[in-house]
Each structure stands twice: as structure tokens, then as C-alpha cells.
Amino acid sequence: MVSIGTHDLDTIKGPFKYEARRPEDIKFVPLNDTRTLNGHELMEDLATGHLKSFLPIIIDKPRYPVIYDANGIVLSLPPIINGDHSKIRMETKNVLIEVTATDLTKAKIVLNIMVTMFSEHCKEKFTVEAVETLDASGHPALYPDLSNRTEVASLEYINSCIGVNLGVGEVVNLLKKMALATEATNDGKEITVSVPPTRSDILHACDIMEDVAIAYGYNNLKLTVPSTYTVGKQQPINKFTDLLRNEVAQAGFTEIFTLSLCAAEDNFALLRRKDDGSAVKLSNPATQEFQVGRVNLLVGGLKTLSNNSAQSLPIRVFEISDVMLQDPTSEVGAVNRRRLCALYSNTTSGFEVIHGLLDRVMLALGVQSDKATGYSISASDDEAFFPGRRADIIWAGKKVGVFGIVHPQVLANYDLKHPVTAVEMDLEPFLQRKLQSGDKKH
């Protein structure tokens, strides 16, 4: 939603123009390059680099956004890449910060944070020079707008939420510790906070209350007995999977927690699987990376391996978490399902490592490797895995998971250079069996 460009102001000249031009008409030297490329050539060049995931934002558009200076020099092609001409160097003295966005409020927030952080390193500390901008209709505006906002919270609300009995003077002093200018109003019943431009996270009285609690110190809050008489206990599914986490960790695997939202292509296309319509879609996704709920844990594991490719081999990771699936019979139209996913990456496939982990997990679940009364494996047709090196996990006559060597094309989709073997299985059928049988033992 927001892209940032930093430029050596002494190498360019204003006024600067933000235009939309045909890709073939845009020619410049990209950042850290020596070749002059047009828009189409640039897209082809970046298709295999670390910026490839951002290219779909503009690649299919008839015109690309571009920023020029008064001499026709390209500053940047937002939101993809800056030009090499104005890049920051060791001798840079004056910096121009440009922010482009699909939302003006978010652009202001990012700009304010960028300029205030940069200003700390200025020769004359905390000085920022404003820039006059003209929008499409010709209306002028000065940016950044570093004026403070005002938020109000009642003393009663703050005390009741935190569970303390602080006076108005104490609350004011605590907020000053959090660098928030504060004064008491309405005969000491309310406090008015002047919110600086660096605190875009303060949107409501609850954010002020949270800052008071942080300054007071969570460890200083006294433990009290709840006024209502209730007895709580851990959900069976959580207790069950917590015990299983310990078993997998003892097998030498490192636990990861990945995002429950992903791009639509992550669920199926990048894994070479057909879209079966099971994914829960967001009606208003914030970004292209978070369009749908994940229907598998494999995508998060592969992304984790991709982002940790510099780590020494072998890499063993696992996750026990929920996936989201559409369910018309559910009250909200969707359900969560608890699953286990483990991945092993090394210079060789390590099929036996994942198969051994599967046997260990089944042993911990009290399931024997027996086709008649326990679990078994059979040939799988899951396209995410390599043919002949993949198997479905069968238990109680139903498929509960799959494991195998990840297909080379899937590895290429996630920029993985080494073989990966993975297993993913549904855990809820095993819990249901234990609950039905009344088995309370680990």
C-alpha cells in the first residue's frame, strides 16, 4: 500500500512530477545497475530477483507510475524500484524522501515516521523541510504535516481497565514517561493527550490506557481474585496439541508460527494444486499477500525455509496450528482445523527423516503402524510432491494427511535451492477418538 524512496537531493532538481507513462517510454538506470532499461525490459530483468513479488502491482497496466525531476531524470518507478542516479551515497548531505501510496492517510503516517527518524541525524537535529505538492486538481498542500493530534480519556476508564486507583496527577506523570504531553481537564475527571506525529498507533482512549499500564508496569499490578465464580480449564484441542508439540520438538524440530492469511496463489497455484474452492476469501484484503485464509500449513513452512535459506543445513521446522476451510453447515460459514506440518531441508531429500517423524508422532498418539487396526500409507496423487516419492496417510479408513518429497517446481516457486521433504496431517480425528474413548492419558 505504501512505497518509500530516498534520494540524494543534490543530484536532482525540482519541481518533481509524478506521471503515468507507457512502459516503453520510461527509460532509466535502475538502482545499483549500469544499464539503461525501459519499463518492459525492467519487468523482465526483475522477474527472477527479490522484487518479483511486487511486479504484479503494475506489470499488466497500460501505463506505469514514474517520478521525474525538472531535468527529466527518473527518481523512481514506484512501487518497484528507484533510479540509480539519485541513490544515497556516503557523501550525501541532503535527503529527499518521497512516499507514494494507495491511501493518503497511510502515506502521511509513513512519511511522518520517516522524516522524524531521519531528522535525528541532521546537522541541526530534528529539522525537517516541508515540500509543497499539487494534487491532480491543482490544489496545493504542504507535507509533512507534523502537527499534534488530541485524544481524551476519562480517569475512571483508565483505572477500571487497569485495575488500579491512580490519581489524575499520577496518570499525567506516567504518560509523560511515555513522551506524551498530557494535562488534566474537566475538574480532573479526564485527561487530554497531545499525540505527536510519531504515534500513529494512538487512535482511541484504549491506546492511552495501554500506555498508562506500560508506564505503571505490568509486574506492579496486584493479582486479585475475580468477582465471578467460574472455573476455567484448557480446551482439549489445545492441551492435546501442546503435548504433541513437545514430542515433535524432542525429535529435533524447531517450532515456527506463520501467518494464517496468504495470497490466493499460495494456497493452490504455487503448490501445483487445483483450487477446490475451500479457501475463505477476504472481502477487503489489505494487501495481495493476505487475500485468503490458508487451507494448508505447507505454504507457511516453505516461506519460512525460503526466508532462512542462509542458515546452515539441515533445517528441521514444524508447526501445529489451524487452517481455515469453508463449511456451509457452520454458523459463520467456515471452520478451523488443527493440523501438524513438518519440513526437512538438506542437500539430500531426507525422506526417511520425515517418515521417521511420522512414525514417532503416531506412536505418541497411540496409533500403531498396522493397516488393519492402525495407520497405513498408500500412493498419493498430490501434485505438490514428487511422483513416486509421495504417500497419503490413511487411518480408520480415511485420508488424514500426506507426506513426501516436495516437487521441484514448488521449490522453484519459493526460491528454494535444496530438496525439501514435508508431512502435513489433520490432528482432530485423533483427538475425537481419545475423547470418545475417555482416554485421559498422554
- Residues 291-347 pLDDT 10s: 889 999 999 999 999 998 888 889 999 999 999 998 888 888 889 999 999 999 999
Q: Are 254 and 316 in contact (CB under 8 A)?
A: yes
Q: Is the preceding omega at residue 285 within 30 degrees of 0, hence cis? A: no
Domains of the chain: 2-141 (3.50.40.10), 149-219 (3.30.56.10), 236-437 (3.30.930.10)
Other Cβ atoms less than 10 A from the Cβ of 196: the count is 17
Comparing 371 with 285, the larger pLDDT belongs to 285
Confidence of residue 421 (pLDDT cuts 50, 70, 90): very high
pLDDT above 60: residue 439: no
- pLDDT tens-digit readout, 137-180: 889 999 998 989 899 999 999 999 998 898 998 999 999 999 89
- Cell matching residue 148: 499534534
Task: Give the confidence band of 437 by pLDDT, cuts at 50, 70, 90.
Answer: low
Does residue 11 register a pLDDT over 50? yes
pLDDT band at 369 (very low <50, low <70, confident <90, very high): low
DSSP states of 75-114: EEETTTEEBSTT---TT---EEEEEEESSHHHHHHHHHHH
Q: 50: pLDDT confidence band, cut at 50, 70 and 90?
A: confident
Predicted local distance difference test score (pLDDT) of residue 23: 92
Burial label for 192, CB within 10 Å (0-12, 13-18, 19+), is middle
8, amino acid identity: D
Cell 515433535, residue located:
248
